Structure formats: C-alpha cells, structure tokens
A and B are shown apart, each in its own frame.
Chain A
Amino acid sequence: MNLLNRRDALRTLLSARGKMIVVTGLGSTAYDLATCGNEPLDFPLWGAMGGAAMVGLGIALAQPEYTVLVLTGDGEMLMGLGSLATIAARRPRNLRIVVMDNERFGETGQQKTQTAMSTDLAAVAAGCRFEHVRIIHQASELEALRMDLHTLDDLLFAVIKVSPEELLRVLPPRDGAYLTHRLRAALLGTEHALEA
C-alpha cells in the first residue's frame, strides 16, 4: 500500500481553511503546518510534548465560536493518551484532533513508535467514547475529512496513516511569546490581547 505524503494530505485538509485555529504538536506536524504558510491562527508547539490536544481543548472551551484543529504526530499523541479521556468527557463540539501517524519518532532517528507495534490510536479514542473516529489510508478519503472539519458539530478524532519518509524541515516561528500574542490579537483584538 502506498502511504500518503503528509504534506500533500495537510494541504488538502487546510484548503479553504477559513478561520480555523490550528495547534500542532512539536516536530513534524509543526514543520508540515509551516509549509502551508505562517498564519495568525497557527499555534505550533516546539516542546510541551503530550500537551497539544489539551492546548486545543483550552482554546476550544474559551472560544466556542471557532473551530479548533489539533494536528499532531503519533509520538506526541501517545505521550498524552490520558488527554483523550479528559477531552471526550468534556466533548467540546468545536474541537478536532488529527494525528499524522507515520509510526515513527521522526525527530530522534526514526525509531518505531507503539503504533508500529501494537497501538491503534483510533481504537483508543473510540474507547474514550469519541463518537466520530476516522482512519484515513487514501488520498480520496481526505476531502470528506476536510468537510467534517468544517461542518461536523461534534468532537472528531482522525488518524491519517502517512509515509515515514523524512522531509525538509520548514521551521515556524519559535518565540512562544510572539506566537501567543499573535493568536490572542487575532482572536481578542490587540488591546485585549495585552491584558490577561
């Protein structure tokens, strides 16, 4: 089976993105997002491994009018498995979690993760009672997922099986205070963004 190219997949998912907030985990998904541009509603993490989904939950609860997409890798998601239980229990209708699953720790030498060995992340999410779970193997399935990101009025979890090939590292900004202010200014306006 030909595995998907992660960046082609993301470009499809983010076409006609609108006002969707995108939080990424550290590493490959942050670089993937940077290949799509550098937008005020982007919040790429450079650390805090295991925390991407919870950052997404916090934004989703604070800004129910916005759709929040958490885009992360299998290694980052595995480190925060408990957050799937936490998130499903709250069930924010505007949150989507998409895992780009290459079955590797891509930053550290391409070691296999547990998804290469045994773990089915979609089954974990289903076990936490995510009602909408998708596993994507083919490019032809991406458009339906893209539509779900925008139109589904419920929590969604998707795994996209992608190729483990190493791609050029395209770096997003890594000044956390800048990224924070940029996103807050876009959501709250500059004046409110300077308060807390």
Chain B
Amino acid sequence: MRIADESLTAPHEEHVQEWAEGVYELFKAHHVELISFVPDGGHKRLIACCQSDPALCTVTLTTEEEGIALAAGAFLGGKRSALLMQSSGVGNCINMLSLPRVCNMPFLALVTMRGEWGEFNPWQVPMGQSTQAVLEASGVIVYRVDSVEDVCPTVEAAIMLAFQSRARVAVLLAQKLIGTKNFMEDDK
C-alpha cells in the first residue's frame, strides 16, 4: 500500500506566500473590491487575507469561467475585480474570455502555476505547459513572475494595465516561487 504524505516545499520555506499581504494591499490601494476564486494552495494566504476583510466582496466559484462573467458584471456595475485561479483552470475559460474582449472590459487574473517545476502529478503537466499559449491565444496579456521579490511590482503593473488601459491581463505565479506540491511516498 502506498501512503502519501503531502507537503508543500518551496525554495525558502519561511517565505512561503509572504507576497500575499503585499498583493492584498495592492488590491486595497487600487480599489479592487471583488475577489473571486477557485481555491489553490498557492493562493491560500491571499484568499484568507481577502476573506478576513469585510470591505472586500469574495465569491467562491464552482469553475473558473464563472469568474470571468462575474468580473464582467462587476465592471458593468462600476466595481474592479480580480480572479484567483490555478493554471489547470485556464482551459475552462477560453470561450468566456470573449466576453471582456468583445465588450472592451478590463480583466485581471492571478494564476498559480502547476505542471512546470518538479511537478509530481502528470495530470497537471499538459495544462500547465499550455497555460501561457492558451491565454495569449484568447487575447490575454501575460506577465510571468519567477521570484518572490517581483510579485508585487508585477501585480501592480498588471492592475494598472488592466484598469487604466482596459486590457485583459493574467499574472502567472511560477510554481518555483509558490512551492512544488509533493507527495512524499513510502512503501508500507
């Protein structure tokens, strides 16, 4: 029998998701008030920050494309929003991305990456490897972040690009920086 002992390992354990508070502060500073998500371990701390602030509206989604339609509605009503998701959900979004594109709406997604840096689960690899190409083919401008110190400057630039130039923007947070999910296995 194989017993899995799941652990999240990152290059600097003490700094895991230390960027989350910084991103939360950027949401506040730029009036990004509606946060929707399909949870991911890489967004755990950011989701907790947002949910603990009663001034932010958080929406738990059943699938990622809901968040795109939600963001469109929020913009129609005059609110800025962001979608938090994992790379495996990007494929779910392709057709719905036509909505902000055709309607000339801003759209901001923060995407934690799977399937690229020492991935344990082969089922994550196909979507992880095609995430950037799929987003770009769908008209989304992609910023990629590989190191912790670049997270906040990149997210701030993405917020400004999305809302000041009404662009569709995704920030990919590399698996290397959020940590590789491992299942340390022993034969028992």
Contact = CB atoms under 8 A, between A and B. Distances in A.
A57 B59 CA distance: 10
Interface in B157-186: 162-164, 166
Contacts of B63: 82
A52 B66 CA distance: 9
A187 B77 contact: yes
A108 B164 CA distance: 39
B62 interface: yes
A196 interface: yes
B interface bracket (residues with beta carbon within 8 Å of A): 35 or more
Contacts of B65: 50-51
A188 B34 CA distance: 18
Contacts, number: 122
B125 interface: no
B62 A55 contact: no
A34 B96 CA distance: 23
A184 B95 CA distance: 23
B81 interface: yes
Interface in A39-54: 43, 45-54
A48 B78 CA distance: 20
Interface string B63-83: 101111111111111111100
B171 to A, nearest CB: 17
Most buried by B among A50, A59, A184: A59
A43 B104 CA distance: 14
Interface of B: 34, 57, 59-63, 65-81, 95-96, 98-99, 102-106, 162-164, 166
Interface of A: 23, 43, 45-63, 66, 80, 82-83, 85-86, 89-90, 176-177, 179-180, 183-184, 187-188, 192, 196
30 contacts: A43-B76, A46-B102, A51-B65, A52-B69, A54-B67, A54-B69, A55-B69, A55-B70, A55-B73, A55-B99, A57-B59, A58-B76, A58-B79, A59-B73, A61-B59, A61-B77, A62-B74, A62-B77, A62-B79, A63-B78, A80-B66, A82-B63, A83-B69, A89-B60, A90-B59, A176-B99, A179-B103, A180-B105, A196-B75, A196-B106
